[in-house]
Amino acid sequence: MTVLTPAAFPGRHPEQVAFHRTELMPILSLYGRMVAAGEWRDYGISCLRDVAVFSVFRRTAETPLYRIEKRPALRMRQGQYALFGAEGQVLKRGHDLASVLSVLERKLIRAVD
């Protein structure tokens, strides 16, 4: 018996959106530096049907300080990556993950100084 996977159907969307290894490397690198600076303590990753979310927490029981979202449906419009603040405000949106993370890189430089 043959089992058909979603990859066998080229027109179908994947069952869930996830971060690729090349996307997680810069995110986790930034996360590690912010933990070393004492700014962040915990993170969570959610892989849903239409969005993948990397949430950053100052403490485990709080709401996230920042959310890095990947929405492939927006890649032809505003860009598939977005950075949201604690209150849900969009801090940066774009096609390139490095440019979206640059907002947090500046905060890291200020935290170290």
Structural domain includes residue 8: no
Structural domain includes residue 63: yes
Cα distance between residue 20 and residue 72, in whole Å = 12
Q: Which of 20, 16, 25, 36 is nearest to 101 (CA)?
A: 25
DSSP secondary structure of 28-64: HHHHHHHHHTTS--EEEEEE-SS-EEEEEESSTTS--
pLDDT per position as a tens digit, 79-106: 889 999 888 899 999 898 898 898 888 7
Structural domain includes residue 6: no
Residue 26, pLDDT above cutoff 90: yes
What pLDDT was estimated at residue 4?
46
pTM: 0.78
Residue 10, pLDDT above cutoff 70: no
Structural domain includes residue 29: yes
Structural domain includes residue 2: no
Give, in order, the Cα–Cα distances in Å from 85 to each of 55, 68, 89, 91. Answer: 10, 9, 5, 6
Name the domain count of the chain: 1
Structural domain includes residue 37: yes
pLDDT per position as a tens digit, 50-73: 899 999 998 766 788 899 999 888
Q: Which amino acid is at 86?
A: A
Structural domain includes residue 112: no
Cα distance between residue 25 and residue 54, in whole Å = 12
Host domain of residue 89: 14-107
Structural domain includes residue 56: yes
